[in-house]
């Protein structure tokens, strides 16, 4: 059975405490509806602050990201190809 604890434990085992969606599907041997359940579970963990989505379909534990040069925020792109990061944390504004 898929649970928050199982997913967090699997990510905790990784060297960088980070894992991709496809990697988790493979390592947890998930099939069919379990894959959709994993996607919903990962989204919920991100909303709760237990995981960070560091790139598309890549998830990291917050403690691991704290040791790196990471700023969470919203990327606003311009049609000319450049963009700006609007940090979530007021300290970085």
Q: What is the pLDDT of residues 37-92, one digit of tens each?
A: 999 999 999 999 899 888 888 998 887 766 667 677 888 999 999 999 988 777 76
Tokens of 74: 């919203």
Q: What is the CATH number of domain 4-66?
A: 1.10.10.10
Q: Where are the domains of the chain?
A: 4-66
The predicted structure's pLDDT at residue 62: 84
> Which helix or strand (DSSP H or E) is residue 22 part of?
helix 21-27
Decide if 27 contacts 36 (C-beta within 8 A).
no
92: alpha, beta or left? (left if phi > 0; alpha if psi -120 to 50): alpha
The predicted structure's pLDDT at residue 68: 66
Q: Output the pTM of the full model.
A: 0.71
């Amino acid at each position: 059975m898929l649970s928050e604890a199982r997913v967090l434990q699997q990510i905790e085992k990784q060297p960088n405490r980070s894992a991709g969606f496809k990697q988790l599907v493979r390592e947890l041997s998930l099939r069919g509806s379990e894959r959709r359940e994993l996607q919903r579970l990962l989204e919920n963990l991100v909303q709760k602050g237990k995981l960070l989505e560091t790139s598309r379909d890549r998830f990291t534990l917050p403690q691991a990201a704290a040791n790196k040069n990471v700023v969470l925020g919203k990327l606003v792109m311009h049609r000319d190809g450049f963009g700006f990061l609007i940090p979530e944390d007021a300290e970085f504004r």
